[in-house]
Structure 1
Amino acid sequence: MACNLLEFAMFGWIEILLLLFIGSISYHAVVANYGPGLIAGGLDSLLAFTILMLLHCLLVMLLWSYFSVVFTDPGCVPPGWRPAVDEEQFDTLPLTMTEVPAYSENGRIQYCRMCNHLKPPRCNHCYVCGRCILKMDHHCAWVVNCVGALNYKYYLLFLFYAFLETSLVVLSLLPYYIALSSEGETPETPGIPATSAPAFGSNLVLALSSLGFLIKHILLVATNTTSLEAYEKKTTSKWQYDLGRKENFEQVFGMDKKYWFLPAYSKEDLSKIPALQGLEYPSRPDLDMQEL
């Protein structure tokens, strides 16, 4: 088991290096093709400046979001955590692995038999990380980290900026790719870098992939659901954490609009929205927990 986990982690770091390599050849291809246009004058200079400016802005946001996902702890159960229930009733509950009831849909106390401790709502054990993750969505090999309560927003922004950046690369390299694919035709700029074709193809694949994942997670955010919880919802028509699209969105991105597109939160949001801490989640008052 330990060997498999080690291989999984090593494969994840290889994937990170692969992404950085694709990013490097993409950057080289766009800059090499449009860099000379900066001194050409006229519309060519304006086009080159616009594309290169957008490329660098999106690249900064992409890398910022990506490494925020990689290096931000998704959140784990604090030592000695106890649920906010009636203390007298809680003291009478048995705390053995076999007697403590599980919960996610019925509001009862949840217990992890692997970590041997109580768990907050929407918390799941990750067998790759070997610990319980707050509001775990999934373990992502591409970031060598779990995606959970504290870095889920960063993961969504990574997908968003990845789609924008790869789409920009595809559109900017499309004329050069067509020129390379057409016999006897050459673009107006002298010489096309050898990285143009592989950069175009790899970014096209990444753009389509990131768009698919982005659409999937937008739908999950709209219903305040994680990837793991999506399977639980198939067994019931009611979902106690679906508070409406606006509140669902704020539980991931916060209320401060200035931070919506940044991999960060304002101090005010962190203090006012308990869901951003990953331990407490408001539920729909119209749903009786016994009916779920």
Structure 2
Amino acid sequence: MRRSVAVVMAWNVFKFCTALRALGSLMILLVLGIVGVSYYAVVAANYGPVLLSVGGVDSLMALAVLVPFHVLLGLLLWSYFSVVFRDPGRVPSNWKPPADEEIGETAPLTSLEFSNHILNLQQLGRLEDTGSQMIRYCRKCNQLKPPRCHHCSVCGRCVLKMDHHCIWVVNCVGALNYKFFLLFLFYTFLETTLVTLSLFPHFIAFFKDVEIPGTPGKLATTFLAFVLNLAFALSVLGFLIMHITLVARNTTTIEAYEKTTPKWKFDLGRKKNFEQVFGTDKRYWFIPAYSEEDLRRMPALRGLEYPTKPHLDVQ
């Protein structure tokens, strides 16, 4: 009876994961559709015609909306597709811990020594697939897990410093694309806020007893774009605040859920925590890219090694 229940649950989870993968492509189309509606409402239906025909102060106001609108839209799409197409971080096939923390050795183990030690840990029941101090092992991938690595059931593999699987980007958010995801949230909030504010006078005009210029299709698109962007601005703001808090503590969504003690050995202070996600080169902080120098000298940006607080081994 228990076996049949377990089989049914496993099958349900498999179907759920398969549905999420299929839904992902539709979510990309939905994002592009919302961008298209917003672009039409702001540029084609309202501020574009004003910029080209009216002149004077009204044209300057239209320019003041259209320039930041296009800049933010470009940064938003750049960040979005960087998250979509960038691998969040996969475990190298031959990866093994650089040192045997269990027996206090500082030098890396040889292949034979490491294999024998893993076998001993398995026999003793000390090889774990949880977030403990011991060597971590994924039974689904049948491989060792680096620090802060978790298995994603949707992607079907382990992801370095996994934060969560996001259906909006059809990808996991992990060590190698977390910065890009944060920038996507940031520019989405700025862009949707700008669209909401720029369309607010036109939205108010719907409820006034005045004649509104434009075809019914343009008016309907303007109304829809205002409502959608207002909803997204408010919802994204909540996610943005949550992830800013996580970055400040150098933790992920999964780790914040799993932690059982207030002490966190990866919390090095807000400045260093920020740099472990965004790098140290300020020129790259607001674009979805890293400098070659940061990638070379900061192992945390590659997802396999993370500095910890000295003399603190409690997670």
TM interval, shorter chain, is over 0.9
TM-score norm. by structure 1 comes to 0.93
Which 4+ runs in 1 deviate beyond 2 A? 1-6, 88-92, 94-107, 189-194
Residue in structure 2 matching 1:270, options 295, 307, 310: 295
Question: How far apart are the structure 2 equivalents of 1:149 and 1:193?
Answer: 43
Q: Cα offset for 1:258?
A: 0.4
Question: How far apart are the structure 1 equivalents of 2:285 and 2:277?
Answer: 9
Amino acid at match of 2:255: E
Comparing 8-17 and 162-171, the one that deviates more: 8-17
Map residues 99-178 of structure 1 onto 2, 5 A cutoff: 99-102=125-128, 106-178=132-204
Question: How far apart are the structure 2 equivalents of 1:241 and 1:90?
Answer: 26
Q: Cα offset for 1:237?
A: 1.6
Q: SS state of the match for residue 175, structure 2?
A: coil
Q: Cα offset for 1:186?
A: 3.5
Q: Which residue of 1 aligns with 2:82?
A: 68
Q: SS state of the match for residue 163, structure 1?
A: helix
Q: SS state of the match for residue 168, structure 1?
A: helix
Question: How far apart are the structure 2 equivalents of 1:6 and 1:112?
Answer: 21
Are positions 1:35 and 2:48 aligned together? yes
Q: Which residue of 2 aligns with 1:209?
A: 235
In 2 relative to 1, CA 4–93 (structure 1 residues): closer, same or farther, beyond 3 Å?
A: same
Are positions 1:94 and 2:118 aligned together? yes
Are positions 1:19 and 2:31 aligned together? yes
In 2 relative to 1, CA 72–109 (structure 1 residues): closer, same or farther, beyond 3 Å?
A: same
TM-score norm. by structure 2 comes to 0.86
In 2 relative to 1, CA 175–48 (structure 1 residues): closer, same or farther, beyond 3 Å?
A: same
Question: How far apart are the structure 2 equivalents of 1:43 and 1:169?
Answer: 20
Are positions 1:259 and 2:287 aligned together? no
Q: Does the aligned pair in 2 maintain the 1:140–1:147 contact within 8 Å?
A: yes
List alignment gaps of at least 5 residues for structure 2.
1-10, 100-104
List alignment gaps of at least 5 residues for structure 1.
none
Question: How far apart are the structure 2 equivalents of 1:70 and 1:97?
Answer: 37
Q: Does the aligned pair in 2 maintain the 1:15–1:142 contact within 8 Å?
A: yes
Q: Which residue of 1 aligns with 2:71?
A: 57
Question: How far apart are the structure 1 equivalents of 2:95 and 2:132?
Answer: 20
Q: Does the aligned pair in 2 maintain the 1:147–1:155 contact within 8 Å?
A: yes
Aligned length: 287
Question: How far apart are the structure 1 equivalents of 2:214 and 2:56?
Answer: 18
Q: SS state of the match for residue 181, structure 1?
A: coil
Amino acid at match of 2:136: Q
Q: SS state of the match for residue 132, structure 1?
A: strand
Comparing 101-110 and 115-124, the one that deviates more: 101-110
Q: SS state of the match for residue 137, structure 2?
A: strand
Question: How far apart are the structure 2 equivalents of 1:132 and 1:67?
Answer: 22
Q: SS state of the match for residue 195, structure 1?
A: helix
